[in-house]
Amino acid sequence: MAGMSKIVARVIAAAAILAAAAGPSHASDGAEILSAYQGDWRGSGEARPNLRSDLTRITCRISASYDAREVALSNSGKCGTTKGSQKLEGKLSIVGDQLTGNFLGATANHGLVNATLRIAENMIVTEAQVEDAGKMVKVRTFVTPPKDDMFLVQSQYFDRASNSWVVSGEIEFRRQ
C-alpha cells in the first residue's frame, strides 16, 4: 500500500490537489472550468511510484459534483495498481480569485512541499517540490479541460541532468 501512496502522490497529485495559489483571472472563469469536470470518470494510464522507477499501470474511477453556490467541485474515487488501491476524496473551491483545496485529498499530497495551485490556459496546474535521493526536485501536474468527454492528467519532474521536464505519469480520463 505504501507504493500506491507514492504513485498517487506523484501522478494524481495534481490533478490539482494542493493549497491556494494564483487563481483564474475572473471567478466566473474558474467556476466554468471547475463545473466542466462534473460527472463520473474512468481513467487509465501509467505512473512512476518514484522518480527513478519504471512506469506502472494505474486505473482510476472518480465521481465529481459541482456546487454553484459554493463555487466548488467535490470529488471521490479510487485509484489502483497491481500493488493495491487507494480511496481518494477532495474538494476544489474558488474563493475570491483564488483556487483552493485539494482535488483528490490529503493522501495525494504526501511528500510534496512548496505547493501552488492555479488555473492557467484553462488547465488546473499544480507545482511543487518533492525529495528524491536527498535533493529537492521540481514537479508539476497539468489537468487539461474536458473536451469530447475526455481529460488528461500529466505529471512531470524536472531533470537537472538534461535540464528538461520529464513525463512521470499520464492518466487519460473518459466520462462514463
Per-residue pLDDT of the chain (176 residues; tens, 9 = 90+): 455 445 444 444 433 333 233 344 445 688 999 999 999 999 999 988 778 888 999 999 999 999 999 999 999 999 999 888 989 898 999 988 888 887 766 555 567 888 888 899 999 998 999 988 889 999 999 999 999 999 999 999 999 999 999 999 999 999 99
What is the domain partition of the chain in residue ranges? 2-175
- pTM equals 0.82
Query: CATH assignment of 2-175?
Result: 2.40.128
pLDDT score, position 133 = 86
Q: Is 82 exposed, middle or buried (0-12, 13-18, 19+ CB in 10 A)?
A: exposed
